[in-house]
Structure 1
Amino acid sequence: MENETLFERTSKPVLDVNEKPKPTQWALLSMQHLFAMFGSTVLVPFLTHLPISAALLASGIGTLLYILITKAKIPAYLGSSFAFITPIITGIANHSLGDMLVALFMSGVMYVLIGLFIRLVGINWLMHLLPPVVVGPVIMVIGLSLAPTAVNMAMYENAGEMKGYNLTYLLVAIITLLVTIVMQGCFRGFLSLIPMLIGIIVGYVVSVCFGIVNFSTVIHAKWFQLPDIYLPFKDYTPSFHLGLVLVMVPIVFVTVSEHIGHQMVINKIVGRNFFKNPGLDKSIIGDGVSTMLASVIGGPPSTTYGENIGVLAITKIYSIYVIGGAALIAIILGFIGKFTALVSSIPTPVMGGVSILLFGIIAASGLRMLVESKVDFAQNRNLVIASVILVIGIGNLVFNLKGLGINLQIEGMALAALAGIILNLILPQHKANK
């Protein structure tokens, strides 16, 4: 990272980081970023049954906190993290809301601790702990473990219990999926950055034509109302469950690795070394503080968004004011009752159709990391690490220890990540097999 040529700007910016847009353009430029992150950010609470308005509020306020902590130097937007979908669903199903939200809060604390440690010793230790042969398969597990959720939403009226196979649902899901694929693969420019949003809109219109949309909540919702959020000691009692915390915290190491990858890309696009100024530690701490805030109000953990990084690359507008404007609009939308009711009325097959592509892309991105990092699977060591991670994660292996006052359970993705980290540390390095 000392080689400053890595941070040479690829092209001249239209607006640099600290430049303000014209007042007549500001709102439109910010809306562009909002559209880029909107489909993914809303999909997470939709799947986990957390309040949509809480996710929007957490996304907006979290991004503003991130801008403050990074001294308004990094043009990054924070949205809902997909890595935590499975543990959140599991946590809600098997534990109290207080247990689950405290566990998410602790994942934010872990972000902050990692950031402070990076401030002290740098990031080489993290790269040693999380090489591509560990992170790649874990990302694949994140996508593949969610595959049944997407397929069930596309087929069943009651997706949670896999009951009520519905051909209409499947047709809506297929149309939504095809539109999303066409937007993703056949278009260029800004439209290629919002394929999920366009897919959801088209799927919603098709659902209206098929008569499977319930508008009653939209009709009765107020235009302006306080966001639907969970407040501690009012809507839930915070409680600490060690097993659930140990499920959430290992995922942080994977998302931090993703965060570092996003920062590398932003460094190259903008042409500045954000690892040094304001510092990678501040960036990770900002992400952690945002996640802590989200957990307090019942929103999903946050992460930097590749979609918004794509907007930076295409528009060459790096203005922190544009990012801040998008955050403010997200907060405002959280107070518009009819808007959140409209989003809540989206039928499950629409989200199922989008999710089939989205979760597949997540899994494929893990595979892409392995390919781009040139992980050599001629080495049995790499083969063993990847194989164990994939089977433990996709098979949802559970480690349950009860007794002597201990109630500890680690499962699925978290256990797979831990297994990969341990195997990477203990297995000796060998040259490729001849």
Structure 2
Amino acid sequence: MALTWTRVDSRTDPDFVVAPGERLSWPRTLGLGAQHVVAMFGATFLVPVLTGFPPATTLLFSGVGTILFLLITGNRLPSYLGSSFSVIAPVTAAVAAQGTGSALGGLVAVGVLLIIVGGIVQLAGTHWLDLTLPPVVTGAIVALIGFNLAPAAKTNFEAGPLVGIVTLVLLIVVLAFFRGMIGRLAIFLAVAAGYLLALILGDVDTSGIAAAPWIGLPQFQTPAFSLSVLPMFLPAVIALIAENIGHVKSVGQMTRTDLDPLMGRALAADGVATTLAGLGGGSATTTYAENIGVMAATRVYSTAAYWVAAAVAIGLSLCPKVGAVISAIPAGVLGGATVVLYGLVGILGVRIWLTNHVDFSQPINQMTAAVPLIIGIADFTWQAGNLTFTGIALGSIAALLIYHGMRVLGFRQGREAPTDGAPAADVSG
């Protein structure tokens, strides 16, 4: 694979796009790469802050993971791998139960499983995934992952309600009333404004920022593997599968190119990046809707811009001062942002249902969605020996058992089992 791109010049033609194998001039490409970093930055740095991971380490593996993704997909699929919100709940639970090492071990397991799924998809296609994880199931699991995090958002918000309200209102206003790059930077702008207000109010501990050097390596950590926490992480695999499949399909639609043959590679590449991050102390990675938005707005799908973005992210990760600034974000700001972001994760599950026209007049779809959502939102727990099943794991298991169980019963009674009549989910990270 040669890292070369065909130089093209921008035009005012409304149908003009820059394909993955093309690029604009290097100065413009550098600017676009920086845009991608800023677009993903707001959501990516929130994950390590919320889970207690070192932000600089997560940023480093985000950049390295993006490079690996581009290499594994043959430099044909533009994507930035930011931090996945789908692992916040299991990571938080694992850290509380057995420490950071066990959470990292869970992330390694997620990455390895994603590599296996990617390998199977590359060999056998996605039809088996469509049958195993139909949209009604995938949507329910993604939705309950987001709604399960509601108590965490409430706790952070109550720690600083004033800055939380300001951050929340600004985030809603920017998302609702602005399009283009300003809209894509909504998280970054709202958090920055909330952070500034907290500084004015004296709610930010700046001692760590002052003590941090300008140049240095991130803090690395090693994983510890515990069977008891692994069930917490399995639903995250399903969410990552949905996000990656949605990304491939979205980019394919925007570039009018059949990228489905790269589906297996994309899944495996995200698995490799997540595994590497777990081994070194970073968070799980995923494709990012914010970066799809930048591509849609600029009509530039060049992978060259993503190589630039990855290099910028790695460079920022080598500045401990940046990591210290991120780590000092007060809880109230996080609370205001996560009220929106966790809710949007939940709504992403609803979007899967709507996009794939899931028919909720069918009892099988009603039960597949209703029961898991209550289990996940209420955070049911079940102890089975050394294994602890939390609301997300139990809700995901319930979604699979209810859907496939009712289908089997429907066939046994000699009737055509009701279906949701839809293909795999089309969503993006």
Mapped pair 1:284 → 2:267? yes
Shift of 1:228: 1.9
Paired position in structure 2 for 1:161: none
Paired position in structure 1 for 2:378: 395
What letter matches 1:186 in structure 2? F
Task: Find 1:225's aligned residue among 197, 210, 216.
Answer: 216
What letter matches 2:48 in structure 1? P
Does the 8 A contact of 2:56 with 2:322 survive in 1? Answer: no
Task: Find 2:338's aligned residue among 338, 355, 368.
Answer: 355
Does the 8 A contact of 1:129 with 1:424 survive in 2? Answer: no
Mapped pair 1:15 → 2:6? no
What letter matches 1:155 in structure 2? E
Task: Find 2:131's aligned residue among 114, 120, 128.
Answer: 128
Task: Find 1:426's aligned residue among 381, 390, 405.
Answer: 405
Structure 1, 267-276 or 83-92: larger mean CA deviation: 267-276
Does the 8 A contact of 1:21 with 1:321 survive in 2? Answer: no
What does 1:219-368 correspond to in 2, within 5 Å? 219-230=210-221, 232=222, 238-276=223-261, 279-368=262-351
Supply the RMSD in Å over aligned alpha carbons.
Answer: 1.6
Does the 8 A contact of 2:86 with 2:236 survive in 1? Answer: yes
Shift of 1:213: 1.5
Shift of 1:100: 2.1
Task: Find 2:169's aligned residue among 178, 190, 198.
Answer: 178
Task: Find 2:83's aligned residue among 55, 80, 87.
Answer: 80
Give, in whole Å, the separation in 1 of the partners of 2:103 and 2:29: 38
Shift of 1:205: 1.3
Task: Find 2:388's aligned residue among 409, 413, 419.
Answer: 409
Does the 8 A contact of 1:143 with 1:363 survive in 2? Answer: yes
SS at match of 1:427: helix
Q: Which runs of 4+ in 1 moved over 3 A?
A: 10-14, 429-432
TM-score by length of 1: 0.89
Mapped pair 1:205 → 2:196? yes
Does the 8 A contact of 1:251 with 1:417 survive in 2? Answer: no
Does the 8 A contact of 1:250 with 1:417 survive in 2? Answer: yes
CA offsets 1:215-252 (integer angstroms, 9 cap, x no match):
2111111111111221x3xxxxx433223122212320
What letter matches 2:231 in structure 1? L
CA offsets 1:197-227 (integer angstroms, 9 cap, x no match):
0001111111122121222111111111111
Give, in whole Å, the separation in 1 of the partners of 2:133 and 2:390: 19
Percent identity at matched positions?
Answer: 35
Shift of 1:13: 4.2
Shift of 1:80: 0.4
Give, in whole Å, the separation in 2 of the partners of 1:249 and 1:11: 44
Task: Find 1:140's aligned residue among 143, 156, 177.
Answer: 143
Unaligned runs of 5+ in 2: 1-12, 411-416, 420-429
Task: Find 1:93's aligned residue among 79, 89, 96.
Answer: 96
Structure 1, 39-48 or 411-420: larger mean CA deviation: 411-420
What letter matches 1:56 in structure 2? L
Task: Find 2:52's aligned residue among 45, 49, 53.
Answer: 49
Give, in whole Å, the separation in 2 of the partners of 1:344 and 1:101: 19
CA offsets 1:313-367 (integer angstroms, 9 cap, x no match):
1101111110111011011101112111111111111111111111111112212
Give, in whole Å, the separation in 2 of the partners of 1:261 and 1:252: 14
Does the 8 A contact of 1:176 with 1:199 survive in 2? Answer: yes
Shift of 1:11: 6.3
SS at match of 1:224: coil
Does the 8 A contact of 1:53 with 1:229 survive in 2? Answer: no
Give, in whole Å, the separation in 2 of the partners of 1:128 and 1:399: 28
Task: Find 2:40's aligned residue among 26, 37, 59.
Answer: 37
TM-score by length of 2: 0.90
Shift of 1:147: 1.2
Does the 8 A contact of 1:130 with 1:257 survive in 2? Answer: no
